[in-house]
Amino acid sequence: MLFAYSFPQALFRFCLVALPMAGIVLAPLSAQAQQSFGEVIKAGTKDANTLIRVYFEPGGKAVGHALNGGWFNSGKAMGLGRFDVRLFATGVFVPKDQTTFDISTLELEKIRLSPGQSPIAPTIFGEDEEGPQMEVETTGAGEKATFRTPPGIGYRNVPIPMAQVSLGLVKDTEVAVRYVPEVKYEDYSTKLWGVGVKHGLKQWIPVISAIPGFDIAAFGGYTQLEANAALNLEPDPAAAKTAQQQQPGYYDNQALVFTTKAWTVSLVASKTLSVITAYGGVKYSHATTDVNVNGRFPVTTFRGTPPAREIVDLVDPVVLNVEDSQFGLTAGFRLKLLFFSVYGEGTLAKSPSATAGVGFGFN
């Protein structure tokens, strides 16, 4: 048996920690989990993509909807030249039915449950315990290898910290910018940028403009997260290799590329009483997450009688896309004292979320 571990464990743990979080160090992929990649895709990229998709899908949705949180804390756009800087975190609460998946419902070609194993396996948000044992047929003669599906992270919410700068423009319009330049740590790199616009509607509705302390605005925002992890899966030293496969650097440039694009639109109203502002509104959130494993990867196969080990290359073996949309109702409050403010909000939706943060500035 070769590499009796599962590559998705490394893949999806990376996806949730390789985010532009201030003060958080990227957790390294274990060499053991990197090696396991060969075991999973030995049966072909179709089965590997199928297993990785169902394990990762809740994580892709949660990260995307979390990136759409925290854009505003009032229904009023800041005045010309006013600004603030916000530090906040948004977490999405993953529904319980997205913490496991049933392997028996998947259309797998060469990967099967080992005899006596339960078909229920954890997703990325499942229990922190390995899933059932799987078997991979590696030759037409029935040669098999085994691995266990990866454990979850043990909890159903992952807060994503972010920073944002907002500036008031003319015509009751406010622009917000999120930006994290490329940050590198060992074999990892990540970057984030986003832009949002809020426009006050009170000026266009005379009836509302007569209500003191009441404001209403429309908002739209877009955030993009990109993260990369260099992988280092070396060929089995006991397997036969071609002259090309033995060249130095032949298996360099292996990488996991993780990209989330999230956009949202909202209609938000607020009422201010002294230092407290209460706000609420309706929100639409859309998120697309791509996970690609790029490069050449050595996979051990068995040929001949008795079977001999050989290396076969798989190129760009994993290409995944996860997309999700939801409507929600948002409500929150802001407490403002001079140039300092604290705020919190919650969104009731298919995947509910909560945001808490602080702000500094003149708004």
Nearest Cα to Cα of residue 240 among 303, 296, 146: 303
Which residue did the predictor score with more confidence, 209 or 346? 346
Per-residue pLDDT, 19: 39
Per-residue pLDDT, 139: 57
Lowest mean per-residue pLDDT among 22-36, 62-76, 115-129, 279-293: 22-36
DSSP-assigned beta bridge partners for residue 88: 162, 357
Per-residue pLDDT, 9: 40
pLDDT band at 279 (very low <50, low <70, confident <90, very high): very high
User: Would the pLDDT of 210 be above 70?
Assistant: yes
Which residue did the predictor score with more confidence, 272 or 143? 272
Which DSSP state fits 295?
S
Per-residue pLDDT, 142: 58
The residue with tokens 């917000």 is: 176
User: Would the pLDDT of 260 be above 80?
Assistant: yes
Per-residue pLDDT, 307: 65
User: Would the pLDDT of 282 be above 80?
Assistant: yes
Nearest Cα to Cα of residue 186 among 26, 8, 346, 7: 26
User: Would the pLDDT of 303 be above 60?
Assistant: yes
Average pLDDT over residues 226-230: 83
CA distance 104 to 113: 8
**pLDDT tens digits along 16-75:** 333 333 322 233 333 334 444 555 666 567 888 888 888 888 888 998 999 999 999 999
**pLDDT tens digits along 159-204:** 888 889 999 999 999 999 998 888 777 777 888 899 999 999 988 9
Grouping H, G, I as helix, E, B as strand and the rest as coil, residue 3 is coil
In what helix (H) or strand (E) does residue 270 lie, and over which residues does it extend? strand 255-273
Mean pLDDT, the chain, whole residue set: 82
Average pLDDT over residues 347-362: 93
Lowest mean per-residue pLDDT among 133-147, 225-239, 240-254: 133-147
Tally: H helices and E strands in the chain: 4, 17
If 0-12 CB within 10 Å is exposed, 13-18 middle and 19+ buried, where does residue 220 land? Answer: middle
Per-residue pLDDT, 40: 63
User: Would the pLDDT of 117 be above 80?
Assistant: yes
Per-residue pLDDT, 42: 60
Per-residue pLDDT, 158: 74
Terminal alpha carbon distance of the chain: 63
User: Would the pLDDT of 7 be above 60?
Assistant: no
Q: What is the dihedral of CA 135, 138, 142, 144, to 10 degrees?
A: -40
Average pLDDT over residues 290-306: 78
User: Would the pLDDT of 108 be above 80?
Assistant: yes
CB 262 within 8 A of CB 286: yes
Average pLDDT over residues 138-156: 73
Per-residue pLDDT, 41: 63
User: Would the pLDDT of 292 be above 50?
Assistant: yes
